[in-house]
Structure 1
Amino acid sequence: MLSTVESHNAFNIKALTTRLLRNDWKRTLRLTSGLVLLAFVTMHLVNHALGLIGIAQMSVMQEWRWVIWKSRPGTWLLYGSFFVHVSFTLARILRRGTFRMPFKEALQLILGLSIPFLIIGHVAGTRLAGDMYGLDESYVAVLQRLWPKSAVIQTVAVLVVWFHGIIGFHYIFTAKRSVRTIMDDLLWAVAILVPALALAGFLVSGRDAQPYDGEPTIDPAVISLVNRTEFYGRLGAFGLLAAVGGVLGYREIGRRRRRIITVNYVGHGEVMVRPGQSLLEISRDQRIPHPSLCGGRGRCATCRVLVTKGLQDLPPIGVAERTLLEQIAAPPGVRLACQVHPFRDLSAQILLPVLGEHTHAAQSEHAGWGLEEQATVLVVDLRAFTNLVNTQVPYELVVLLNRFQEEMIQSVRAHHGHVDIVVVDGLTAVFKKDGHKDKGSRDALKAARDMFKSIEALNVQFQSALSLPLRIGIGIHTGRILTARVGAMQAQAVTLALGETVAVASKLEAASKDMMSDLVISRETALAAGLPIMQSRLRDIYVLGHENAISAYPIRGLGELAAVT
């Protein structure tokens, strides 16, 4: 499946256009309106940048801009795009099931909602004042009115409008891996250069345009009308947002009255939710790592999941989702999490890891063959394995062990861990700090939390076939490890973690049986993760070949891990 995605990495304008045309008309219309507005803003800022050369050059380009945007078709296109974009944006907000989202997506939303309040004064004092009250709209006249008393608000408005559009543009054209590599560099350059030059041009031209005989004279009646237009414009925007907030509140009250359903994530356990959210929104609400390059807009397929139970109860696939799944040649049972709204119990596996951070595969060749570094090691073991082998039907045993390994590995990878060794009844995993003092230890504890949730889900699923519930023991220790590639030939080499830290983690897992706890961590791990500990609960254990005793801390319940979520 991944090779299929990689084969589509080349940026293809024709393929993108085809996809847009085949998608549902609402998405295409929202996208088109956004691009029209971004084009208008870009031309406006480039016009400002010409102020570095002179006001005369600004005025020449302004005349050309007016030919486009002040013509009847241009005016209808501009105003129509604005109202279409705002309408669909508000509709998308109303469809949201949660406001927990990545920073970039939240930033775009906040910037977008603040735009009407920032630009209504500028629009009222320029275009509306010119069209309705005959006020002079030339660059010299506008600069004289804006500089310097409105310089700050104009600067903020420029930055807010521009970066809102750039984030949206980024979401559109970085859904594929190669496009992200090419377009990100270009976007960063354009995103910084255009507003910087525009603000510099505004600064220079604003000073040059100031009259020597005082402020320009404007009819007080016109000023009153402009101020009134600005006031009612802001009031209308506030009222619209208040209405949207009221609808969201009313809908949330209704959603809380619905019956609870169970969503089982492979590798993360079960979560209890009420219908109304998409599967991606449920993941975000439950803090389950779930990739989504396009921000849940149904354009990138990175949020796709394999539905292992409840597929027949899901709403039918829409046109946009079907188009994207066909493009990546997705097998049966795969759906886009951002488009799936479960109303009955569901089980699904997230198919792609969350990327964007340092990955262990990116180590240099020198580091890959041998590197000593600080890391956290997790060892998990399935309890009473011999009894399980002796009491289970062979077929059921194979199915159960495969599910167990699948769940444990998914828990590790979901929290940026590397599976070091896999045995039939357990595994060893490594979590590196990657430049952050507490990252590796906290990620290991999060993975352990998800492992216990997964075991609970497996017990429910296999309860009719199990003589005793499944239990696991986990040991976690933080310290120095030697990461080494072991193998006679490079093609056959595997990366392993070696050293005392691995031995200590294994000893902690073994000691968990005597300490009557399913999870035992070392004092070093607790301190590195910032986990509060009770000194009276610490126990000393001894590891063969280790001079000093290791302080072990048993975790009594998942509630004690709340500090690392």
Structure 2
Amino acid sequence: MHLTSRARLYAGLILFVFVATHMANHALGIISVPAMDAGRDIFLFVWRSWIGTLVLVGALVVHSALVGLSAWRRRTWVGLSRTDYIQYVTGIVIPPLLVLHVLANRGLHELHGLDDTYAWVLMALWRLDPMSGVQQAILVVVTWVHGCVGVHMWLRLKPAYRPCIPAAYTAALLLVVLSLIGFVHGGLEIDRLAEDPVWMAAYREATALPPEAAAWVYTARDTAWTGMIVALLVFGASRAMLHVYERRKGLVTIYYPEDRRVSVEPGVTVLEASRRAGIPHASICGGRGRCSTCRVKIVDGGEGLPAMERQEKKVLRRIGAPEGVRLACQLKPPHTVSVIPLLPEPTPMKEAFANPGFAQGAERRIAILFADLRNFSRFAETKLPYDVVFVLNQYCRYMGEAVEAHGGRLDKFIGDGVMALFGIEAGGEAGARQALEAARTMSLALEQMNQALRGDLETPMRMGIGIHVGDVIVGEMGYRSVVNFTAIGDAVNIASRLEAANKSFGSQLVISKAVAEEAGLDLTGMEARDIEVPGRDRPVRIFVLDSAQDLPPRETQSA
């Protein structure tokens, strides 16, 4: 993460904690106004100490300045995510709503020694100026939404956060609701107290201010609003001038597949160019250089491109990206360049997490296992759809558990067929041993399933399994939401043919000689056969077993 991004994040977290503790203090109004003031004493001990004030004001200045810098650097406002728009809109709304509250409390406290208790605040917002009370309630909601969205955007790329999202959402919603209920309950209590002349007399004495104090608050508010408007106008005018200046320096053309091109001024990232032209381009993190989903392959014009900064290198190294791949959100081409976005839009959230390097495409020697139920189509013709789906789901569960129990990776279920991969990281030898153990377990699991479903099955289910080991290409392949990790190559075709050969032999398991050799499997005395495989010049030597449970126990296999 860039230093500026990290500073912006930490400053935002400080402000988030401040708002959360302030809202928790409001929620004490559900109990009573004195309870709110008791909580206020703790709150002020932290945030009105000189350290707390320094931290809070520093965080506010740093966060605001860096958000402004980020907005200044942005070259397009087209194609932003909904959360980005929420962040920018709420960020603009907060200051004008907040300024009066700050001046009437902290300002009067510092200048005139006002003890701004909750009685003072609730009297002003609930009885004297109800519209300001409505504005402050809106401010609470807007500020909390801004903070929660920011924290969510920071955490959502962390795998550990995903299971916590429902609880985090519930806690965030509960806090803002309790805060508003506390405000209303406290206001109603002030209504009752205000009917007591003695209490009102004591309140007026405690909150007496010189006549010029109120005038100062509203004058300062109007001055602050004017400054905000001027700042926005200056920002807009300066950005327009920068845009004109950059375009006068000449344009850079970015070429995309399907003869699409975009001409932009230097300093625009490839991702911003895509958004400006309406070209679909994945970017789960919103262009913050954290998720890698916007990555592109440089087809032409790679010479002379700006060197990668630390954050981009870290992200690309994490996913094992090959040479010539860059993050579109970080790359600002100074000259004409041709790129190919590597992920489709929309892209599933899982793509944002650290995938192993081989997911991008790699050659591996692995074991491939195919399994298929026998005569399942005939079974399906005689059963109701519900029964067919139920039995098939049970089969998938039993087989899936068997594969995963031995380190395999389920590639896909195709009807009543299973494809699984073994040894993707460990290699062919380990993969072959794992696949054989999985086959034995699948055979046992099928017996268990037949026993469990004996009331639903007229005859026990039978299956065929084929296993082969060989060199394949593995990686995530597909389109849009239909993207899966799979393997392609001649070895996959052979494993499929071995599984189908069980029908001819009336067997349950057919393995290639290559599998036996890789696994160190002793099949002495077992008859070897040769079968023809379409597309291959030479036959494949195989071993046929009536049952996968006939495999020698693992401890008898050589290491």
Partner residue, 1:228: 219
Q: How many residues align?
A: 359
Pick from 13, 21, 25: which aligns with 2:3?
Answer: 25
* Per-residue Cα deviation, 1:53-112 (whole angstroms, up to 9, x for no partner): 122221111111111111111100000100111111111111010011112111111110
Q: Find out whether 1:143 has 2:126 as its counterpart.
A: no
> CA separation of 1:305/1:183 partners in 2, compared to 1, >3 Å: closer, same or farther?
farther
Matched-pair identity in %: 32
Pick from 159, 170, 181: which aligns with 2:141?
Answer: 159
| Letter matched to residue 13 of structure 2 | L
Partner residue, 1:200: 181
Q: Find out whether 1:62 has 2:40 as its counterpart.
A: yes
CA contact (8 A) 1:136 1:142 kept: no
Distance 1:46 1:81 in 2: 20
Deviates more, 1:254-263 or 1:85-94: 254-263
Q: Secondary structure at the match of 1:341?
A: coil
Partner residue, 1:115: 94
Pick from 23, 27, 30: which aligns with 1:45?
Answer: 23
Distance 1:81 1:315 in 2: 32
Q: Secondary structure at the match of 1:312?
A: coil
* Per-residue Cα deviation, 1:341-382 (whole angstroms, up to 9, x for no partner): 1121112222223347799xxx9988x979xxxxxxxxxxxx
Distance 1:57 1:328 in 2: 52
Q: Which has the higher contact order (CA 8 A, sep 6+)?
A: 1
Where do residues 383-462 of structure 1 align in structure 2 (5 Å cutoff)? 413=479
Q: Find out whether 1:241 has 2:232 as its counterpart.
A: yes
Partner residue, 1:324: 315
Q: Secondary structure at the match of 1:256?
A: helix
Partner residue, 1:74: 52
CA contact (8 A) 2:284 2:349 kept: no
TM-score by length of 1: 0.58
Superposed displacement of residue 308, structure 1: 2.2
Q: Secondary structure at the match of 2:303?
A: helix
CA contact (8 A) 1:94 1:247 kept: no
Partner residue, 1:343: 334
Q: Find out whether 1:310 has 2:289 as its counterpart.
A: no
Partner residue, 1:181: 162
* Per-residue Cα deviation, 1:451-508 (whole angstroms, up to 9, x for no partner): xxxxxxxxxxxxxxxxxxxxxxxxxxxxxxxxxxxxx99x99xxxxxxxxxxxxxxxx
Where do residues 241-390 of structure 1 align in structure 2 (5 Å cutoff)? 241-266=232-257, 269-355=260-346
Distance 2:87 2:110 in 1: 31
Q: Secondary structure at the match of 1:147?
A: helix
Superposed displacement of residue 116, structure 1: 0.7
Superposed displacement of residue 190, structure 1: 2.6
* Per-residue Cα deviation, 1:363-406 (whole angstroms, up to 9, x for no partner): 9988x979xxxxxxxxxxxxxxxxxxxxxxxxxxxxxxxxxxxx
| Letter matched to residue 45 of structure 2 | V
Distance 1:48 1:103 in 2: 30
Partner residue, 1:191: 172
| Letter matched to residue 261 of structure 1 | V
Partner residue, 2:83: 104
| Letter matched to residue 111 of structure 1 | T
| Letter matched to residue 67 of structure 2 | T
CA contact (8 A) 1:268 1:288 kept: no
* Per-residue Cα deviation, 1:233-272 (whole angstroms, up to 9, x for no partner): 1122222122111111111112332433321223573333
Superposed displacement of residue 320, structure 1: 2.1
> CA separation of 1:140/1:314 partners in 2, compared to 1, >3 Å: closer, same or farther?
same
TM-score by length of 2: 0.59
Q: Secondary structure at the match of 1:209?
A: helix
Distance 1:24 1:160 in 2: 28
> CA separation of 1:335/1:127 partners in 2, compared to 1, >3 Å: closer, same or farther?
same
Structure 1 unaligned residues grouped into runs of 5+: 1-22, 371-409, 420-487, 493-565
Structure 2 unaligned residues grouped into runs of 5+: 351-388, 394-412, 416-476, 485-495, 501-559
Cα RMSD of the aligned pairs, angstroms, is 3.2
Partner residue, 1:373: none
| Letter matched to residue 206 of structure 1 | G
CA contact (8 A) 2:112 2:209 kept: no
* Per-residue Cα deviation, 1:397-456 (whole angstroms, up to 9, x for no partner): xxxxxxxxxxxxx9x946x6899xxxxxxxxxxxxxxxxxxxxxxxxxxxxxxxxxxxxx
Superposed displacement of residue 327, structure 1: 2.8
Partner residue, 2:107: 128
Which is higher, the Rg of structure 1 or of structure 2? 2
Where do residues 503-518 of structure 1 align in structure 2 (5 Å cutoff)? none
Superposed displacement of residue 316, structure 1: 1.3
Distance 2:26 2:83 in 1: 27
